[in-house]
Amino acid sequence: MAISCPKCRFENPEGTLYCGQCGAALKTAEGSDITKTVVSSAESLRKGTTLAGRYTIIEELGRGGMGVVYKAEDTKLKRTVALKFLPPELTHVPEVKARFIREAQAAAALDHPNICTVHEFDETEATTFISMAYVEGQSLRKKIESGPLGMEEAINIATQVAEGLQEAHKKGIVHRDIKSGNILVTDNGQVKIMDFGLARKTEGTLLTREGSTMGTIAYMSPEQAKGEKVDHRTDIWSFGVVLYEMLTGQLPFRGEHEQAVVYSIRKDKPEPISNVKPEISASIEQVVNKALEKNPDKRYQQIDDLLDDLKSISAGIVPEEIRTRIKKEKLRKRKRAFLYGGAATLVISAVVLALLLFTGPAEAIDSIAVLPLENMTGDAEQQYFVDGVTDELIGQLGQISGLQRVISRTSVMRYKDTEKSLPEIAQELKVDALVEGTVYQVGENVSIKLQLFDALPEERNLWTKRYDRPKTDVLVMYAEMARAIADNIQVKLTADETSRFADARQVDPESYDAYLKGLPHLNKLTPEGIKIAQQYFDLALEIEPNNALAHVGISLVWMDRYQMGIASRQESLPLTKAAIEKALELDNTLAEAHWALGAIKCWDEWDWEGAEKEFLQAYRLNPNHAGAHGAYSQLLCHVRRINEALPHIELALELDPLNPMWHLFYGIVLSHHCRYDDAIAAYRTALDIAPNYPIALGNLAGALGEKGMYNEKFAIYRRIHADDAELTMALEDGFEKAGCMGAYRGLADLKADWYRKPGKNVAAKEIADAYLEAGNYDLAIDWYEKAYEEHDPNLPYISMVGNPLRSHPRFQELLRKMNLPVGKQKEE
């Protein structure tokens, strides 16, 4: 029986794990864990079978990520070999096969005692295989299962691995799948690196080209996990993981799920080796730490350097650079001891002061959150201004490219009036530093005090300063604050960023006040709140017509009215665009304006190229703009560039982890990847934050249906419509007559009837989706076409629709009219 690919719908032979057309995974192996690679589906070969006229099968040795391995006799050259067979589905794609042959030939050129020799590449009519030297021994992974290795043995094995990698890197070959399972240790202690030439079969990674890459998650470098191009330094990272594993008996980056492991690789520091095994020397710990630098530029740049350090340590010599790193680590620990040891003598206090004044943090901090500033003015009506300072400071810091993460407003505002400690907040938000502040005075002059803390593992004050400025200079003051924070966490500004902060402009105090007063009402996302927000923004523009921020506010007012169904497209779109274009005319550096224009081009105009240009410009201006990354992920899904979407929505989640919208968008991206279990988890997280988020409920129902969990899906539909007696009755009556499909048909018919009645707010796409669930595809297309005529802003999400509707000629024509891809996803 043929297996239809969930991505491109290509019909594959039964038993196939990967699509022969696009390479997507067709099945998921049971019991997978963080150190497992996909297992081949190749059929077993019987003992005595002869292949290519010369190889006689002796026994099967094992199955792994790139196929089945057999012990065989080469009858022509009278030697024992290992034959590794590639799964047929991986060599049906010509580009994959050609790349595999090239790299197998390159690997065959490697001749080194610590690399398993590749003899030749061969194939028959049905199979493709590599002939390799047969080596008796035990995998390093198996060896470690008995417990961590002694330091002397670990360094000996590590030195041999490094020497093998040195030879490969010299020949321009990167392994890309270094792990303990790919390292064989013979009975006499010789090390052999296995599978050279196999790990490089694709240019993607497991997480960005699911099912196509055999890289093992726990050993992946951060750049591999992010889907970026990698070089020989990714082998150095993976080697560091193996060295850590040998010394401690455990992996440095762990988690219950793939996503947790990947997050740990990208953001977490592993537990120090000295905490796990205190007897391990500080020098070898520093070798591991340098190999595991997340930034490849801070890692060992060549395996030769790492090998030199290993040999020096083995000889009892501590290299100078390692000696410096050890001193720096001791100083960092000593500083914390001074601050938190509880001693109160004058001498120790003086030392603490000296350390704070002259040393700063031991290393640059690249993630930060600005907690809601405290209103100490004595006037509760000034809270709008205090919250505005928080927003502006987040926005200013977000423009600094050297900061990898600046947590967004939605997430930090949840910590207003919290009783949690700074380390607790930092741990929850996964940031290194926190900014706290108080606003003392607002009038003609503003007085603000800021404090910067290195929050983990314990809070440490890095910097404190009070600012007093005329209200006309508040934007200048915010830029000055951001520069000072960057300086104190050792983050360098680019020339453009320095220029942008220096060019901060003065504001009209009354106009700026009116703008700030409108923001909290806009953020309520209610019809009344939007109305009040517009009044304030209009007032701001009446006072100062060139207030670019107020023009952005007006654009968001009309955008929200359209999205909420309060205003028609004909009324709202011209007003939205006019306000954004005016804002950009006044200040082309406003990331918010570019993001808003991108949203219009994406969901209102279906101008995919124009939208992409604006989203890219938004996060160039503010690399930490969660909205730009989240929105861009959806655009990429619409145009079926789904592999590119994942890193953007992941970044939006890192920047704004408590915003339910990004968890919803994450679920949508995962659904495009057919990763329905993960999508379900993302939708449930969105609902944990916002329990009755209707769009998240609808998407959760869809993902449950894709998993065949029809009872659970129907329960979600009941929950969605529980507050409407008429819809509930239609659902239940339909269920009694014809089960779930009857229930969905009942909903669709009722909504179609409502569509024709005045006063009922139901969209054509909503009706189309209901008929799609009911299996009435002709009616579904009828309503999708009506949604197209009405230019429904949610219609681009039909890119998620699969077979059988996707193969319908009318549906394909609709996709063409929207300039959306008709076939399989676009390759990166």
- Residues taking part in catalysis: 177
Candidates 459, 460, 436; CA nearest to 449 is 436
DSSP H helices, 624-659, are 626-638, 642-655
**466 φ/ψ angles, rounded to the nearest 5 degrees:** -110, 135
| Cis amide leading into 457 (omega within 30) | yes
In this structure, which amino acid lies at residue 784? Answer: Y
Q: To the nearest 10°, report the CA torsion of 723, 729, 734, 735.
A: 70
| Strand partners for 451 | 436, 464
Cα separation of 432 and 17, whole Å? 42
Instruction: Give the up-direction half-sphere exposure of residue 656: CA atoms within 13 A in the CB hemisphere.
Output: 26
**CA–CA distances in Å: residue 550 to residues 393, 512, 561, 593, 606:** 18, 8, 17, 11, 26
Cα separation of 319 and 327, whole Å? 12
Cα separation of 553 and 573, whole Å? 14
Q: To the nearest 10°, report the CA torsion of 199, 202, 206, 207.
A: 150
Cα separation of 368 and 407, whole Å? 7
| Strand partners for 62 | 69
Contacts of 338 (CB under 8 A, 6+ apart): 348, 351, 352, 355
For the chain, the first-to-last Cα distance in angstroms comes to 31
Cα torsion 739, 742, 744, 750: sign: negative
Cα separation of 205 and 222, whole Å? 11
Q: Is the Cβ–Cβ distance between 580 and 593 less than 8 Å?
A: yes
Candidates 486, 342, 464, 335; CA nearest to 400 is 486
| Strand partners for 115 | 193
Cα angle: 79, vertex 80, 86; to 5 degrees = 120
3-state secondary structure 174-234: CCCCCCHHHEEECCCCCEEECCCCCCCCCCCCCCCCCCCCCCCHHHCCHHHHCCCCCCCHH
Q: Is the Cβ–Cβ distance between 376 and 439 less than 8 Å?
A: yes
Cα separation of 532 and 518, whole Å? 7
Q: Is the Cβ–Cβ distance between 782 and 811 less than 8 Å?
A: no
How many Cβ atoms from other residues are within 10 Å of residue 789's Cβ?
8
Candidates 214, 190, 194; CA nearest to 86 is 214
The tokens of 155 are what? Answer: 């360094």
Contacts of 711 (CB under 8 A, 6+ apart): none
Cα separation of 115 and 112, whole Å? 5
| Strand partners for 469 | 446
Over the range 411-440, which residues count as b (16 or more CB within 10 Å of their CB) and which as e?
A: bbebbeeeeeebeebbeebbbbbbbbbbbe
Over the range 302-314, which residues count as b (16 or more CB within 10 Å of their CB) and which as e?
A: ebebbbebbebbe
| Cis amide leading into 804 (omega within 30) | yes
Cα separation of 806 and 825, whole Å? 13
Note the residue count of the chain. Answer: 828
Cα angle: 420, vertex 426, 427; to 5 degrees = 95
The tokens of 35 are what? Answer: 């150190």
